[in-house]
Amino acid sequence: MKNAGLYIHIPFCKSKCLYCDFNSYAKSESLIEPYFSALLEEIKIQSTRYHKKYDTVYFGGGTPTAVDPEFICETLLRLKECFEISPDAEITAECNPKTIDFDGLLKLKNAGINRLSIGLQSTCDGFLKKLGRIHSFEDFKDCFQNARNAGFQNISLDLMYGLPSMTLADWENTLDEAVGFGAEHISCYSLKVEEGTPFWDMELSLPDDDLVADMYDLAVKKLDDAGYRRYEISNFAKGNKTSKHNEKYWKCVDFLGLGAGAFSCMDGKRFSNALGILEYIKKIEKNKSAEIMREDLSKFDLMSEFVFLGLRMTEGISEEEFSSRFGEKIDEVFGESLKKYTTTGHLIRENGNIRFSNEGFFVSNIILSDFV
């Protein structure tokens, strides 16, 4: 039985970015203390329900570093008290520049957080401003150096391409400058304009699909040349510094989500918490549970997710593991789609594995939709 993962949602931000549709809230400082009181209570409650071993912990958001580091440290201490967490667990905190100083980062490191995921997005101040980010490139440089000085030896950077008015040269510049910092991990995400965000209502001069594809291709080549192995569609790592927590999602390993809006997938069931901060707090106080949705996943749901999520990874999926998990051969369930895309060269089957070809990665969303 593989160890599970813990996800803790911190929904607070200093400011809401123009593209963001995550469950996060700015100007809600008065709710920080009651939120963490409810979160500590949920941790205690859920630890009595899910007796598993956990080897990854991930503080996401929102911006975990937008709150006083003591809240994060206290939460991690409660997690260690209540759950069976491996001594060598990967413990990640998302971090945005200009939200935490050296002393704060040192507190996180001393508390046991051993991996940082920093939201850089771009090395160009003009693009950062367009995105509604509160930091500059210089702020990022200070944050990164402070993190290194605090002892963090496993740092990931988030970058975004396909931004309004972005050229291939702009993106190349961001890649070159980002690589120069020597972070252990880099994630590259294409901008998606989501309904309900300020960007949705703005007239944006976005790169066309061909240019966005060229940007992705450039990232793959540049990062490979710099020693970063693509192990998932959008994620690149040096050596063994992959995101062990995110790999649980892609490999369909159990994870428990805690906090407002957090999703979980445990023992063949999917469930989620109330989205709003106040609603979450009230539900914990009144019901000792913030859960608003729970569903049993059918066998086909589980098979579909195993393929849909696993194919996102460069190594792909194991036919033997599929059979072991579900008692059926993969061709009996998805044979038609597999034949279709192996014939076109978008999928490669060899040595008992199925994975994307380089060409397949470019149209992965279309292909993956056939397995849902």
Ordered domains of the chain (ranges, CATH): 4-250 (3.20.20.70), 299-371 (1.10.10.920)
The band of 362, judged by pLDDT with boundaries at 50, 70 and 90, is confident
Could you tell me the pTM of the whole model? 0.96
**Cα(first)–Cα(last) distance of the chain, in Å?**
26
Q: What is the mean pLDDT of residues 54-72?
A: 98
User: Does the pLDDT value for residue 1 go beyond 80?
Assistant: no
With a cut of 80, say whether residue 294 has pLDDT above it: yes
Is pLDDT at 189 greater than 90 in this prediction? yes
CA-based angle 296:297:301, to the nearest 5? 165
On the question of pLDDT at 284 being above 80, the answer is yes
CA distance 260 to 203: 32
- Give the per-residue pLDDT at 119: 98
Summarize the chain as % helix, strand, coil (round to 5).
45, 25, 30
Strands (E), 224-359: 229-232, 235-237, 255-258, 263-266, 269-273, 291-296, 317-318, 347-350, 353-356
Question: Residue 236 — very low, low, confident or very high, per pLDDT cuts 50/70/90?
Answer: very high
Confidence of residue 184 (pLDDT cuts 50, 70, 90): very high
The encoded tokens of residue 213 equal: 């594809």
Q: Which burial class, exposed, middle or buried, applies to 136 when counting CB atoms under 10 A from its CB (0-12, 13-18, 19+)?
A: middle
CA–CA distance, 365 with 348 (Å, rounded to integer): 16
Which residues, other chains included, contact 274 with Cβ-Cβ below 8 Å and sequence gap of 6+?
260, 261, 280, 283, 290, 291, 292
- The per-residue pLDDT for range 311-341, each reduced to its tens digit, is 999 999 999 999 999 999 999 999 999 999 9
Rounded distance, CA 160 to CA 174, Å? 9
User: What is the pLDDT, as a whole number, of residue 24?
Assistant: 96
Report pLDDT for 74. 98
- Residue 110, token pair as written in the block: 């001393």
User: Which burial class, exposed, middle or buried, applies to 80 when counting CB atoms under 10 A from its CB (0-12, 13-18, 19+)?
Assistant: middle
Predicted local distance difference test score (pLDDT) of residue 323 = 97
Please report the pLDDT score of residue 86 as a whole number. 98
Instruction: Return the structure tokens found at 48.
Output: 């009595």
Q: Taking residues 94-113, report their average pLDDT.
A: 98
Mean pLDDT in the chain?
A: 97
311/251 Cα distance (integer angstroms): 9
Q: Please compute the mean of the pLDDT values over residues 137-164 and round it to a whole number.
A: 98
